[in-house]
Amino acid sequence: MKEDSFYRVLNFLVGASWAFILLGAALTFKFFIFFNLLTAIFATFIYIFFSLFFVLLLDAFIVNKQRLNETKKQTKLLELIASKLEKKELD
């Protein structure tokens, strides 16, 4: 159950980050449009670039957690295979 809640929280944070990016990009563009169109576009791209870093960071947490779980499963299977091979060698 802890894994399920961990994934749920991370997936919620990823979704919230995407919403934050979209809303923040719109607000950044509206704020900087008073200066110049080029400045507004540049500031919006800078905002999106740094915001996407956090989305990728959260996604990396999810991928690494899944990789760890798969590695644990594979380790258990390999230990089981090794113990069965040792039993056969002893017989």
Residue range 79-89, pLDDT digits in tens: 999 999 888 87
| Whether the predicted model's global pTM rises above the 0.85 cut | no
- Residue 91 binned pLDDT confidence (cut-offs 50, 70, 90): low
Q: In angstroms, rounded to a whole number, what is the distance separating the alpha carbons of residues 76 and 50? A: 40
**Band of pLDDT at residue 2, cut at 50, 70 and 90:** low
Q: Tell me how many domains the chain contains.
A: 1
Neighbours of 39 (CB within 10 A): 12
Domain with 64, as residue range(s), is: 2-90
14-55 pLDDT, tens digit per residue, is 999 999 999 999 999 999 999 999 999 999 999 999 999 999
